Amino acid sequence: MLELTEVTVRFGATTAVDDVTLAVQEGTVLAVLGPSGCGKSTLLRAVAGLEPLDAGRIAWRGQDLRGVPTHERGFALMFQDGQLFPHASVGDNIAYSLRLRGVGRAARVRRVHELLELVGLPGYAERRTPTLSGGEQQRVALARSLAADPGLLLLDEPLSALDRSLRGRLAGDLREILSSTGTTAVLVTHDHDEAFTIADRMAVMLAGRIVQEGDTAQVWRAPVTREVASFIGFETILTGSAASTVLRASPTPTTTPTASTPRRAF
């Protein structure tokens, strides 16, 4: 389990992450959903050990991570641009962490081929990364992140650089890959459809604070404030007698949204 307790990160007089408490069970995916500038990427970097805490505690499997350097945490971080090595082949990119760990050549080759099958790119080991499409590059970046079997995968807006239709397809594929491998992951994104597709649980972050957290279906059915409802895609917000009339006439929703789901009134 990943546990964040009253985590605060400041940059001078600006509080980027404000008293955040969260828990992630092993084998599950948590999406931290929020607008640009809300502090979600800073929170992810703090988990990775790239940003120091001003207050609070981050623990992994009961171990306090304060003072543990990034390379000793056993986590993998995947960025929105993939950050592949342009001079290296697809196979060499994926095998990079395995080579650093001293894994033999035959075992590296086997693992690369396994991961290319997993991400839907069989036969791509000898391709050069600049020749790949954006979606293919992100699949290679995911394979590289999974190569060393990280305890925790941290995903920083991994699909935001892609066009809308491709994001939708890759979000479904990413969900299937994480589920099939039992990977524990934290995803930060500004895209509610992406969060609903990929994650088991969701934490909505606004202005540095977590304002609602729960199962994705629960957050979709019952946003706790007008601000949360508006951000996750509700286009009409009713109050007073109008809201009571709609609630009496409407059945309780039982499904979570997809990119094509019509937005409901709140």
Cα dihedral 175, 152, 217, 82 in deg (nearest 10):
-50
User: Taking phi first (over 0 means left), then psi (-120 to 50 degrees means alpha), and beta for anything else, what does residue 37 get?
Assistant: left
Distance CA 4, CA 125 (A): 38
Task: Give me the pLDDT at residue 162, please.
Answer: 81
**Helix/strand/coil (H, E, C) string of the chain?**
CEEEEEEEEEECCEEEEEEEEEEECCCCEEEEECCCCCCHHHHHHHHHCCCCCCEEEEEECCEECCCCCHHHCCEEEECCCCCCCCCCEHHHHHCHHHHHCCCCHHHHHHHHHHHHHHCCCCCCCCCEHHHCCHHHHHHHHHHHHHCCCCCEEEEECCCCCCCHHHHHHHHHHHHHHHHHHCCCEEEEECCHHHHHHHCCEEEEEECCEEEEEEEHHHHHHCCCCHHHHHHCCCCECCCHHHHHHHHHHCCCCCCCCCCCCCCCEC
Between the alpha carbon of residue 263 and those of residues 193, 237, 253, 256, the distances in Å are 11, 11, 12, 11
Closest to 31 in 3D by CA, of 212, 182, 266, 181: 212
Task: Give me the pLDDT at residue 261, please.
Answer: 42
pLDDT 10s digits, 114-166: 999 999 999 999 999 999 998 999 999 999 999 988 999 999 998 887 888 78
Residues in the chain predicted with pLDDT less than 70, given as ranges, are: 82, 251-266
Task: Give me the pLDDT at residue 241, please.
Answer: 83
Closest to 215 in 3D by CA, of 229, 195, 231: 195
Task: Give me the pLDDT at residue 250, please.
Answer: 72
User: Taking phi first (over 0 means left), then psi (-120 to 50 degrees means alpha), and beta for anything else, what does residue 120 get?
Assistant: left
Task: Give this prediction's pTM.
Answer: 0.86
- What b/e sequence results for 52-69 when a residue is b if at least 16 CB atoms lie within 10 Å of its CB, and e otherwise? ebeebebebeeeebeeee
State both tokens at 23: 């828990």
Neighbouring-strand partners of residue 77: 154
